[in-house]
A and B are shown apart, each in its own frame.
Chain A
Amino acid sequence: MGALMVIFSLQTKQRRKTTDSVEDELELSTVRHRPEGLEQLEAQTRFSRKELQILYRGFKNECPSGVVNEETFKDIYSQFFPQGDASTYAHFLFNAFDTDHNGSVSFEDFVMGLSILLRGTVQEKLIWAFNLYDINKDGYISKEEMLDIMKAIYDMMGKCTYPVLKEETPRQHVEIFFQKMDKNKDGVVTIDEFIDSCQNDENIMRSMHLFENVL
């Protein structure tokens, strides 16, 4: 009797498995993205043809299917920060790049983002950074959002730092940030306050030009 039940359950499991695998296969074959043509991308971004070629080659190498999902993204980004945990920050970055919020970053998203970061005006870069910090995209950066971002950045440092990272270090950093940025002291930073304060800060202005020769 017990044997009968065993046989029965085995059969049902098998059947379920085959339907799953068929669905899986279907799913895989549809996730294959081809980007728009070179001319269109050239028009939409500020990269030259050659640069787009180099970018695409690297992109396709790492993601043959043409889109990056969040897991792969986190994986790739973590490889640059071996000492810490880059997954939280990668998550925020992913959301910043995934402008249409469909859960995957295609080559167009990737190149648009890079175009702003590497070839955009300082204003555009600051807007991009604001969007990165504004996690819920409501137009304001609250202290909680900033704290999340700050913790994510500090996580990337990992454990072995000098001086030793304390619990309240991110929080204090957020305080400093808000003191600098929040002009009317209402507890949130709007985009205008952000851009204003950044434009008044020499360090920030200078660092915005730091990566222009990348690529």
Chain B
Amino acid sequence: MAAGVAAWLPFARAAAIGWMPVANLPMPVAPTEKNKKQDELIVLNVSGRRFQTWKNTLDRYPDTLLGSSEKEFFYNEETKEYFFDRDPDVFRSVLNFYRTGKLHYPRYECILSYDEELAFFGIVPEIIGDCCYEEYKDRKRENAERLMDDQEDNKDSKLPNMTFRETMWRAFENPQTSTMALVFYYVTGFFIAVSVMTNVVETVPCGSVPNQKEVPCGERYTVAFFCMDTACVMIFTVEYLMRLFAAPNRYRFMRSVMSIIDVVAILPYYIGLVMTDNEDVSGAFVTLRVFRVFRIFKFSRHSQGLRILGYTLKSCASELGFLLFSLTMAIIIFATVMFYAEKGSSSSKFTSIPASFWYTIVTMTTLGYGDMVPKTIAGKIFGSICSLSGVLVIALPVPVIVSNFSRIYHQNQRADKRRAQKVQKARLARIRLTKTESSSAFLHSKRNGLFNEALELTQLPYKMSLSEQSSTKEEQHLGKSSSLLESQHHHLLHCLEKTTNHEFVDEQYYQQSYLEGGLQNYPQRSPSLSSQDGVTGTCCSRRNKKHNTPLRNASGPAHMQPLTHTQTHNRGLQELSTIHIQPLSTSRSSLNMRIDEPASLNCQSSQITTAIISIPTPPVTTPEGDAHLPTGPSHQNVVKVSAL
């Protein structure tokens, strides 16, 4: 429960009066404030800057430094204030947490210093509010990565027993690791450049033999070009085979984009070698040479920017698709319109709609070659509309792509989408967790409740025997687990339970009981109830002794009165039995096993023997059958605890 709404708890409790006339059971006693003093101002001096707040504000979170007695260590007697030698700026966030119940992370703050302050004041970073949690996690991750990078750099210098294969792979992936890798990197880069230049220069017309027409260089110096080509392909093949050998996962390597590019780059040469003799397919062979241009893509291993560009295009696939789609729509529309507009004019170039496509594309991209122009007035009008709209349609999706590129370039190139999904899931999980935490806190304290009340009670007779000190110590030990606010909240929930005559249980237990349907036998609390025989031992043993009404020894007999009409048994039946309140966990056994912790601690601290007065209820056939009782209001076993 957020501290912000703690101020509304009195209201919620007052509103509970609305349930009272409806309830059929007596309500539990409200927790009282043991020492109700006037609220006082506390002065917190943090490195000279003084903060003041109410004591109650700080008490909202008793398990932090400021909310517990730990702050007494920092109390300065002379100035009557609490002095902390810490950063006052970060302390602002810490104090705001107490005031509003939400912890914020200031963006300008260094993540490490913030973490330290939180640790000092005993605040868990996980409760940072939704608004700032993403930022916090991002910064933490960046920091962790930075540390890891540092570690890796150190690690690189000394490599413990890496196999030759692993060394090679690392050399390929990261040219900075060794000199050999660097050499290899530059050599391959050089040969890629050479190969590309060769392909280009091949087609340039070199000087001609006087009596022949101009021939491209490729045909003039066939041998030279062929040798150069062969050399390049050799290098590429060797490189590819070496990469294939070094790859940790060969199958994955072969499927990766870069390796496909490598293969496509060198294949034409080999195919050409094989097919040199056959004249018929030489035409096809020439076309295959086009694929040699793919060698230029090998540069993307050498250039980070190129890789980012490729990644951007991949991640903007949807925007690109939209651009294409809208363009196609516009082209078709305008081509149709232009065709019909120009149909009338003679010698028109717009011979068919597909022919008009070319005009539309050239106009929309504002190229305007001028090889096709409309001649009719209608055609000119529609042509101008076409060019105007072209600017718009193209201008709209392009900035999206541009911004995507710059974003990816400036950030890490991890898979952003994958991270976002995980973050969203984590966020929902946190919200769910805080909800279940507050509800489980109530269930948890319910189980404690019986024990606590018993303990309080038994302190009366035991106070003689025990020393003052130890009893108060025990009391404090119990009180520490929940603040007054929490106990009031739990009392409220308890009243609701009594009103509706149903209990809160946790998910697990509910699943079980729901599945098992009409479960007849409940697990009892391990204490065995020695019941008197006349009574339906059955019904008593079946009733689950979870109900704990507040101890009202004085009003004991008064409680019997409401049970006027339940009777098939002798009413006055009150059984006294001794019950050991043992670790409640054993009684619940596997059913409510989610919450262990302090509960078991408390229980095991001492065993208490208490007396329980139980009043049997009429036999109930089904466990859920409270409301099925034909006779008037149903009454559960009223279990009261009183000292022996």
Contact = CB atoms under 8 A, between A and B. Distances in A.
Interface of A: 1-4, 6-7, 54-55, 57-59, 61-62, 76-77, 79-83, 92-93, 96, 110, 113-114, 117-118, 125-126, 128-129, 132-133, 149-150, 153-154, 156-166, 168-169, 172-173, 176-177, 179-181, 194, 198, 202-204, 206-208, 210-211, 213-215
Interface in B9-25: 9-25
A213 B30 contact: yes
12 contacts: A3-B385, A4-B389, A58-B7, A58-B10, A80-B12, A80-B489, A162-B502, A162-B503, A162-B505, A202-B562, A203-B23, A213-B33
A153 B627 contact: no
Nearest to A54: B39
Give the interface centre of B2, B17, B493, B510 by most chain A CB atoms within 10 Å. Answer: B17
Contact of B21 (A81, A82, A198): A198
A50 B27 CA distance: 29
Contact of B632 (A80, A96, A176): A176
B461 to A, nearest CB: 27
Contact of B27 (A96, A110, A207): A207
A117 B17 contact: yes
A4 to B, nearest CB: 8
Per DSSP, chain A at the interface is helix
A179 B488 CA distance: 32
B389 A3 contact: yes
User: Ordered nearest first, which 9 A-B pairs have the shortest CB separation?
Assistant: A58-B7, A163-B624, A3-B389, A160-B510, A117-B14, A172-B627, A161-B502, A162-B505, A207-B20
A31 to B, nearest CB: 20
B626 interface: yes
A3 B393 contact: yes
Nearest to B441: A82
A163 B26 contact: no
B499 interface: yes
A7 B388 CA distance: 12
A214 B10 contact: yes
A2 B388 contact: no
Contacts of B499: 153
Contacts of B509: 160, 162
Contact of B500 (A96, A153, A179, A215): A153
Contacts of A129: 17-18, 20-21
A77 B624 CA distance: 28
Contact of A62 (B7, B502, B626, B633): B7
Given A2-B333, A3-B393, A153-B500, A203 B510 contact: no
B18 A77 contact: no
Interface in B498-537: 499-507, 509-510, 513-514
Contacts of A207: 20, 23, 26-27
Contacts of B19: 153
Given A129-B18, A211-B30, A202 B561 contact: yes
Contacts of B1: 79-80, 82
Interface string B108-139: 00000000000000000000000000000000
Contact of B8 (A58, A113, A126, A162): A58
B496 A81 contact: yes
B41 to A, nearest CB: 13
B496 A79 contact: no
Interface string B94-111: 000000100000000000
Contact of B562 (A55, A177, A203, A215): A203
B439 A163 contact: no
B163 to A, nearest CB: 56
A70 to B, nearest CB: 15
Given A169-B627, A211-B30, A6 B392 contact: yes
B389 A2 contact: yes
B435 interface: yes
Contacts of A160: 504-507, 509-510
A113 B14 CA distance: 9
A204 B21 contact: yes
Nearest to B22: A177
A161 B493 CA distance: 12
A111 to B, nearest CB: 10
Given A57-B7, A117-B14, A164-B513, A3 B388 contact: yes
Nearest to B16: A211
A214 B13 contact: yes
B619 interface: no
Interface string B357-401: 000000000000000000000000000010011001100000000
A203 B8 contact: no
Nearest to A7: B392
Nearest to A163: B624
Nearest to B493: A81
A114 B10 contact: yes
A125 B18 CA distance: 9
A111 B5 CA distance: 17
Contacts of B5: 62, 76, 79-80
B452 to A, nearest CB: 19
Given A110-B11, A163-B624, A194 B21 contact: yes
A133 B20 CA distance: 12
Contacts of A211: 13-14, 16-17, 30
A166 B517 CA distance: 12
Contacts of A93: 15, 18
Contacts of B159: none
Contacts of B7: 57-59, 61-62
Given A153-B19, A210-B29, 9 more contacts: A80-B12, A92-B18, A113-B14, A179-B632, A207-B20, A210-B30, A211-B13, A211-B30, A213-B30
